[in-house]
Amino acid sequence: MKAIVIGSTGMVGKELVKLLLQLDDYKEVISLVRRKTNLSHPKLSEQVVNFDSPQTWSHLIQGDVLYSCMGTTMAQAKTKEAQYKVDYTYQFNVAEVAAKNGIKRYVLISSAGANEHSAVFYSRIKGKLDADVQQLPFDSIIILRPGQLYGERENNRSLEKIAIKFMFFLNKLHILKKYKPIHASEVACVMVNVAGKEKSAIYTLNELFEFI
């Protein structure tokens, strides 16, 4: 198969690309990025694109499955408009092109609590994307809504590390066990394992651990 990946410079996206390159089922991995990475592999085609100009990259969206891992935070984006562009606009535009180009399968990382009617901005845009991509004519649409993610990040997030340690502590006390944090590599594994499912589905929180 041939995979398209967006968001491969992020924590989960990096793990996903590394995993796809190891699998014999995938003969080629097309990674659309906004900046170059140091990753090199015979099966990897890394394309630096401007997501604001679909006409310059739409021809690259050709393959069997689209993996969408893109996302940012308010701290990184600085404004709601910038965060909306990354978390909704870019991802929806790529998904729309993929559907038009005949890609059959779509796997999206969303977030726990995603709800287009939420009062929380981040949850609202995640929910809107979830709702809108489900209207696109893919054969299979799989949406993952993990809880707290952890793994290797480029930027240090001290508060996040403290929160994860605290959550693991609560889990050991059998408190909030269904909100167990999940490692980025585990999410990547789930993405690959559910990509072959014929029926569309949404998996959330502890359901993801069933596919590792």
Task: Give me the pLDDT at residue 115, please.
Answer: 97
- Do the domain assignments include residue 166? no
Is residue 68 within 8 Å of residue 108, measured between CB atoms? yes
Give how far the C-alpha of residue 124 lies from the chain's centroid of Cα atoms, to the nearest Å.
17
Task: Give me the pLDDT at residue 151, please.
Answer: 80
- Do the domain assignments include residue 21? yes
Query: DSSP letter string over 160-180?
Result: HHHHHHHHHHHHHTTSSGGG-
Residues of the chain with pLDDT under 70: 153-179
Which amino acid belongs to residue 164? I
- Do the domain assignments include residue 140? yes
- Do the domain assignments include residue 167? no
Task: Give me the pLDDT at residue 156, please.
Answer: 54
Give how far the C-alpha of residue 6 lies from the chain's centroid of Cα atoms, to the nearest Å.
8
Is residue 109 within 8 Å of residue 120, measured between CB atoms? no
Segment 124-176, tens digit of pLDDT: 999 999 999 999 999 999 999 998 888 875 555 555 565 656 555 556 655 66
- Do the domain assignments include residue 40? yes
- Do the domain assignments include residue 164? no
Task: Give me the pLDDT at residue 172, please.
Answer: 63
Give the range of the structural domain holding residue 78, as residue numbers without chain letter: 2-156+183-211
The domain total for the chain is: 1
Looking at residue 113, which CATH number applies to its domain? 3.40.50.720
Task: Give me the pLDDT at residue 152, please.
Answer: 72
- Do the domain assignments include residue 172? no
Task: Give me the pLDDT at residue 143, please.
Answer: 98
Task: Give me the pLDDT at residue 83, please.
Answer: 97
H/E element, 28: strand 28-33
- Do the domain assignments include residue 145? yes
Which amino acid belongs to residue 14? K
Task: Give me the pLDDT at residue 148, please.
Answer: 86
